[in-house]
Amino acid sequence: MRVLVTGGAGFIGSHVNKLLLDQGHSVTVVDDLSKGHQDSIDARVDFHQIGLENQEELEKILPGHDGVIHMASFIEVGESVKKPVEFAQNNIVGTVKLLEAMKNANVKKMIFSSSACVYGKPEKLPITEEDPLGEQENPYGITKVTMEEFCKLFHTLHNFDVTILRYFNPYGPGELHEPETHAIPNFVKSALTKTPIPLFWKGEQIRDFIFIDDLAQAHILALTLTGLHIYNVGTESGVKVADVVKQIFEIVGYEVPIDDKGERKGDVPALVASSEKLKKELGWNAKVNLEEGLKKTIEFFKNQNL
């Protein structure tokens, strides 16, 4: 298949590109490099440095593609609180322009990168796709809910094939966000540089950490689907954040101090996926356990100039 990947210079996008290419697909990447990294782009892709606001250019690039994997969005929760207009403009308006460009170019297969944040504070664990979407406590979450709704609307109005993948907590090699707000890369970098590890809620929160290669595979499997589908992508195993820190200490062979950051507004106590639907319908499985994934992540960051 010929697949266009938005945000393909980012952490998840770059892994999805490689997997697509390795499995014989051809890949076009659209990324404005405001958050992504040119170095992360596989040499085998057809790269276009444009933003999603440029609908006219998108309509020139899209014809001939079989589908779009849409991952281009601003993701920093704290930044979204400070810059709600920018987040709405980039994430929501950018998505609508992409969908319109797809409609005009007659490319009607969309795989959308969503987030477990759409569930808000879950009423029960594990979370299933049938659980209600919760109240959002930051503009980032609102943008993800709204982007999902626009994708579903284009399925209803224009017969798009839409698959929404709700990620839990991705991690792995290649995560180079600026600023970095995700737990595992910050923990690993602090451990390797022997600086205090920043920890909110004393690490008592429970999260479902999904290794990047397992997450990437879900996108490729979804390319075969028609109609409208929503899937959680997680390991179905919750782990305390403090226990992740302990595992990192065990792998590197020493401990560093903890920087107790106290409480943080907007955090939910626990997020754990039910991925039963994804397993049953697409044969997907999370293959990399946390220890193995952490070892690979630590190895990657050891090779960076921290």
Helix, strand, or coil here: 25? coil
175-203 pLDDT tens trace: 776 665 678 998 999 999 999 998 988 88
Segment 32-54 shows an average pLDDT of: 93
Could you tell me how far CA 32 lies from the centroid of its own chain?
A: 17
Helix, strand, or coil here: 302? helix
Q: Is 4 left (phi over 0), alpha (psi -120 to 50) or beta?
A: beta
Query: 54: which residues sit within 8 A by CB, 6+ positions away?
Result: none
Helix, strand, or coil here: 41? coil
Tell me which amino acid residue 22 is: D
Rounded to whole angstroms, the Cα distance separating 301 from 244 reads: 16
Tell me which amino acid residue 178 is: E
The β-bridge partners of 165 are 113, 231
pLDDT confidence of 303, banded at 50, 70, 90? confident
Place of tokens 């754990």: 272
pLDDT value of position 266: 67
Q: How many CB atoms lie within 10 A of CB 54?
A: 17
- Is 70 exceeded by the pLDDT of residue 262? yes
pLDDT value of position 306: 63
pLDDT value of position 179: 63
Q: Supply 95's token pair.
A: 């998505």
The β-bridge partners of 214 are none
59-96 pLDDT tens trace: 999 999 999 999 999 988 878 889 999 999 999 999 99
Please give the mean pLDDT across all residues of the chain: 93
204-260 pLDDT tens trace: 999 999 999 999 999 999 999 999 999 999 999 999 999 999 999 999 999 999 998
Helix, strand, or coil here: 190? helix
| Residue 253 DSSP code | T
For the chain, the first-to-last Cα distance in angstroms comes to 38
Rounded to whole angstroms, the Cα distance separating 8 from 31 reads: 6
- Kindly indicate whether the domain formed by 2-171+209-234 is annotated with CATH number 3.40.50.720: yes
The catalytic residue positions are 140
Query: 250: which residues sit within 8 A by CB, 6+ positions away?
Result: none
Helix, strand, or coil here: 260? strand
Please list, residue by residue across 25-48, b when 16 or more beta carbons sit within 10 angstroms of its beta carbon and e when fewer do: bbbbbbbbeebbbeebbbeebebb
